[in-house]
Every structure is written in C-alpha cells, then in structure tokens.
A and B are shown apart, each in its own frame.
Chain A
Amino acid sequence: MRKLRYLGRRLAGLLGILGIASLAIFLLIEAAPGDPAQIMLGTGAQPDTVAALRAELGLDRPLPLRYLAWLGGVFTGDLGMSYTYGTPVAELIGQRLVVTLPLTAMATLLAVAVALPLGVMAAQNPNRIVDSLATAFSQIGIAVPNFWIGLLLILGVSLGLGWFPTGGFPGWRAGALPALSALVLPAIALAIPQAAVLTRVTRAAVIEVSNEDFIRTARAKGLSRRRALWRHTVPNALLPVVTMLGLQIPFLISGAVLVENVFTLPGIGTLAYQALSQRDLIVVQNVVLFFAVIVLGVNLLVDALYILLDPRLRGSG
C-alpha cells in the first residue's frame, strides 16, 4: 500500500513536470520564426491562400486554445499533419519507432550483458588484471563519442571485414534477419559508452555491498563466498545499477540521434533532426515532447523497479 501511494505521488509529479515541459516546448516553437502555412505553400503563394490555409490549420485561433487543442490531440493520438511529408505526425513517429525502439533496446541489453559480469568480476578480484581491464574499459568507454565508434565500426567491420551493412535499413518486411543485422553495428556503437558507465557502477556497488555487515553475517553463518555473492551481494548491488540505467536514458536518446545519423537509419532521431533543417516545426514539437515523455516515463518505471527489487522493501507493501 505504501509503495502504491509513493508511486502514485511520483506519477502525479511526473504529470506536473510534463505539463510544464509541454508548455515550454509549445511556447518555444510558437516563438520560432516562420509561418507554417507560408512554408507549406512556398514564398510565391497569394496572401489570401496563405490566410485560408492558416484558418484550415487552426493557426488563427488564440494561443491558449491552440495549446489545449495540441494537448487534447496528444491524448487522442492526433498530433497534426507534417508540413513537409503531408502525413499525420503520429504515423511518422510510429514508422520511425520500429527502428529506434529495437535499436535502443538492443543497445541496452548488450550494455547490461557486458557490464554486469565485468563489474562483478572486477569487484571480486580487486587490483587484479580483470579489475584493471574493467577500469580501463569504463574510463575509455565513457570518453569515446558513440558516433565515432560507429564510424570506426563501419571502417573496420563493414568495409574491412565485409560483415554487416555500412548503413541504411531494409525495413522489417524484408525479414527479421536483414533488419536485425542492419541494427547490430549501431547498437554496439550505442552500447559501448552505456556499458562503460554501468561497469563502473556495478563494480563500485558490489564492492560497497560486500563490505556491509549483513554479508559478513551471512558468511559467518557458513554461507559460501559464491552463494553470498549471488544470493545477497548482487541483488543488493543491482539497485544503483538500475538507477543508473534510468539516469542514462537522456544519453541513450542523444546517442540514438547521432548513431542513426551515422548509419543513415530512418529512426526518430533522424526524423527530429531532418524536421529541424526543413523547418517542419510541428514534427519537431511532437518528437521533442515524445522524447521528454520517454525520459520521464522510463525514470518512473525505474523507480517502480527499484521498489520491486529492493530486498529491504520486499513483502512490506
């Protein structure tokens, strides 16, 4: 019950923050130069044609009404029409999501699969070779830009070895294998900095928990080192790792925009960036809000997961 009430409070806070964020996005885009109707019709259009299109798009309505209409649209899935593509923005985001979502999911899985064992091994063998390697990996991995890793992977793996495509996305209709293989290198590029951060956090957390009294008690009661590690140390050490996963979401999204650009993947990042250069502001507005919802939503999920994982809170709800 206590847990539910806490999550309810967090959800309310999140909705408040999203309200402020959406207002900020709306006002910034409103203040941006360029009349959408003029952009759609081109500079040679007659003033009355522009005025008619403005009325059709609802751009002549007062500001607060348009904000509320947008928010209403967000809840009903009607995000308006893209100025340049001429298709509904919601449809555009949906088409791009089938690239960005698997990409970021693959990257996260890969990062966790590398970081957890590496971090635990490093913590169990302080000052040994595996520890030094893990520390070096996390220091260098954090410092290296993911889009540069992407370029190096294209250079070494795609062009050098001829494995995996250099870029582009065949679409899921072409079959799961070609689609997934187009995402392998981008996912690795995106995963390396994430794995570096998580390795560091895992190592520190395992070391810290190993020094706790309850681990010493468990060992004193005759639990083997191995059992103490997997039954008590690692589950407790997972908490900061999960928190860090949530905190890394903004970096994962930034990274996706860059890596999609390197591998010319038609994802949401590419959509946002192209919309900006084509001044398709309604797409910019909705994609930025979409990402903000993801960042904050994932953080709420992480909070919920934290409560589920925390052994101290187990069974107390």
Chain B
Amino acid sequence: MAREKMQILICGGTSCSDKQSEALADNLKLELEANALENDIKVVRSGCFGLCNLGPVVKIVPGDVMYVKVTPDDAREIVSEHIMKGNKVERLLYKDPSGKTKSAEKELSVYKKQLRIVLRNCGIIDPENIEEAIAHDAYEALGKVLTEMKPLEVIKIIKDSGLRGRGGGGFPTGLKWEIAYKNKSDEKFVVCNADEGDPGAFMDRSVLEGDPHAILEAMAICGYSIEAHKGLIYIRAEYPLAVARLKTAISQAREYGLLGKDIMGTGFDFDIDIRYGAGAFVCGEETALIHSMEGMRGEPTVKPPFPAESGFMGKPTNVNNVETFACISPIILKGASWFSATGTEKSKGTKVFALAGKINNVGLIEVPMGTTLREVIFEIGGGIRKGKKFKAAQTGGPSGGCLTEKHLDTPIDFDNLTAAGSMMGSGGLIVMDEDDCMVSVAKFFLEFTVEESCGKCSPCRIGNKRLHELLEHITKGKGTLADLDRLKNMSYVIKDTSLCGLGQSSPNPVLSTLENFRDEYEAHVTVKKCPAGKCKDLMEYFIIAANCVGCTACARVCPVGAITGERKEPHFINPSICIKCGACMEKCKFDAIIIQ
C-alpha cells in the first residue's frame, strides 16, 4: 500500500467534518496537484484522532507531526512549507497548557497514558479502503479462526481473556457466546448494537467511522463460533457518516470474499445487513432492540427468555456492542493472556471514554481499566476549563451517577463504579465544575428518562414523571425536607419494580447526587438558595454598592426597568420587577452585579 512517499491524514470524524475538514482535504489535493506531487503524497480522510476540540486535525506521516485547528486556507502553507521544504508550520502545532509547542503525536500529553486496542486503527487508516485495513491486520484473525480453530476453541479464548460487554452491563462476552452456541437451532443471528443513545457518548460512532472492518470481522468470527450465518447491525439513523462507511465496508468485504458465501474458500457462509433505529433510547436494551429490528415498537420484554435462547424472529441471537466487537480480533491474534494482562482483577483490557463537558481536552480516549479518574481528567483531559474547580464527573449517562472529588483516586472498572453508585455505561464521561447545580443536573437526566420511557411498565412511566415533578418543585424553591426522603423512597421503588434496565437505573442520577451533594439539595429546600446560582427561580441579582460607579449601563439595558439610581450614584435592582435575564450582569464592567 505504501507506494506514496508521504501521507497526509485528515480527521474525518464528525466533529472535524463539521468544521470543514472536507474543504481542507480538497484544498490539499489541489495544492499537491499544482505542484505535481499528487502521485507521491496521498491525502487520506481517516477516523477520529480523539482530539475533538482541536479539530480539524491533520497528521503527516512519516514523522507523525500533528497540526491542530487547521482551516482550508492553511492547505497552501502545509504543502509549500512542510511537504516541499520539510519545515514544520509552527503556528499550527499543538501547544500544551504551558504554551510549549508539541509536534509529534507521541509527545502529546493526551496520548501518554492511553493504550489503544479498540481505537487501534482510528486515525491511522483510510476507513473507506479495505486494502489499508488488511495491511493493518484486518481479517487475519478471521482467517486464523476459520482455518485453525473450532468454535469452542474460539469461545474459550474469549472467555479466558476476561472480556466483558462494553455496552454498559458488563456481562462476560465469552459466556454469552457459549450460551448462544449451546442453543441448537436451524438459524441463529449475530447482532451488533450500534444504537448509541447515551447523550455525550460517541465512541461507537468513532469506531464505525474510523475502522468499520474491525466490526465486520468480529461479527463473522462470532458467527463462526456460535454457528450463525447472518449478522445484523442495528445503527442509529442519526449517524449518516457511520452508515455510509459501513455500507462501503460491507460491499468491499463481499468483493474480496471476506463476507458472503464460502469465506476464504473455507465453506463458511456469513453475511451482514444494516437495520436502522429511529431515535429511541430504550432500543439499546437487547430485547427492545430486537423488537425494533422486527419492525415493531421498541418495547422491552421480560428476560428470560434471553436473546441467546429466543431472540430475533424467535431464534437464538447474540447481541454485542460495537466496542466489544472491536476487542475481538486483537484477542484472537495476540492471545487471551495478552488481553487479560491489562486491567484490574475483574475488568480486563481497556475502556474508551468520551470526555466532554467542562474539560480542556474534549475527545475520545482509551485507557487501561483501573486508570484513576484523576489521571483521566487532569492528566489526559488537561483539567477543568478556565481553571475552575472540579465538582463531579458523570458516567453511565442517564443511567449512571456522579463521581466526586473523593472518588478521584478510585481505579475505574466495572465493579468500582457500581460500588460508587454509578456505572460504566457506554463510557460517556461528562465533567462538571463548580458552576453546575447538581439538582438541575439530576432534573435534566430525569427529563430525558421521562421522554424516553417506552411506557410499557408503570413504575418507569409514572414513577419517573413523579420524580421529575418533585425535582422541578425543588428547583423552583417550593420543596421541603420531606421531599428529599420522598425522592429517595420513590427512587428505590422504581429501581426494584421496573421491567428493564432503563427503569432499573433511571433513578441513579437522583440517588447519587442526593448522596454526594445532600447539602446542595438542603440549600434548595430550606434557605431556598441555589449554591451554584443556576436555578433561575432561586436567584436574586444584587448590586454591590461599593463597586458600582453609577455608569447607568445596567439601567439602560434592563428590559423591564427594574434598575433605578442616579448618575454616579450606586444603583439598585428591584427584585419584584426583575425577570432575572442576566443582561445587566453581562453589561457591567465593574463586577458590581452578583447573583445571590
């Protein structure tokens, strides 16, 4: 493949594509053609580099020089300086928080603590070119499995590796495969769950966009192991780029005889189709997902029977998440003990996290299980934005909880997160600072659950609605101390009596914020104040007389005429007229207006 002397890799992930990485690629190609270099240097749109807030990101190999925040207009300089003269374009290099420029990829602090197994090819290969994938060992594991191994041997390796489902539940993958293998049937199915519905999680999308062949290969390996010949990928319709790349990858794999009839001449048949979701969070639950694939409302059903016994069309079905599948080929090629050497006692391997929220380095990272939250947030994530104070990290999406300062040094794995009142979930990690009100955050998640509850069982349908109403009450300053106990009791009832994972985990954000930030809840209900100054109904704008110079700027901007005062005299806000729009505070140049 490396006929070219040099490659220019441009991040083709969603965040970067939105920021004109396509126009940048076109400009680079034009510049190369203008200098008759198009045969020597190849422009590749690769998968996500994981540096989403620095995009569009460009990497030049060999040399691994990274340029960040590149615009289409920078194409000329990159070609004329770097490519033709070999000089790095200083102004586009990454600068770490201390202002030091870092050019090579491995120098970046973001990458130092990372270990990339799932994301091994993201940002390295061209996802639309199967030959590049093959050059990076794609389909080698499938070949090994088909020619040298029996299904039970494959299952044993996966079991020995200690791989657990990355979709959230953490069920041992090998065991799941074994159950599906043991249920004899004329037809079985392998399903890839790519319905990434957690707000703030985008790792599955990045894998599908950056390395689609890894998923196809792993599904075929799974098919061989459980004796299935049909695979289905259930993907969100909201991910058009991932869908397009998957379609390309599937047709290329068929063309190369790596999917379809008689794969690699071994007599094994396996083919993959795509099914679309239509925006329902509950469809991440396996039984709901299967109903949705059958063209029905995505409502969950009671387990057992588990999908491994009776799943899609009543046939044994094995459902795994994208990230889980992405671990399979390396395990087959490098062995179970290689994989289990990384991680903690009960959680092996690595985990991908999507860092988002009030953190400096927003993006995708992959770290060994057992890395502490402190390392993730402060070393890899570069700390909290604008130098604010860390307050909480939310993991597990709407089903998870908040981790606080006291959890910073806990090694992150499945069991520790559960013990801390949160969960691994799919790996979204949203960081909050001192300005975030935890009651509002809990309310935000409940709002989500209320909207996404399928309505089938009453604890989830009615209970979550009641929880949300109580929280609404509290943020409006109408709550009482008794409401806090009510919140807690109701949460436990919902958890204990709901049908599926959605209801069983939806009160987690309430319980964990109540546990860790009870003083904040109490401030809302007793003194009717929001310590973070987020709850509109509980705030009061106030002018500090000593700071006010009487410039009248605030009085002029106030839309309701709530501010009075003479020129050059301290002004005053009438709280009964004030609508709390905040316009005065934005306008004030003297920091005289505060929220109480």
Task: Please determine whether chains A and B interact with each other in the same assembly.
Answer: no
B interface with A by C-beta (< 8 Å) = none
A interface with B by C-beta (< 8 Å) = none
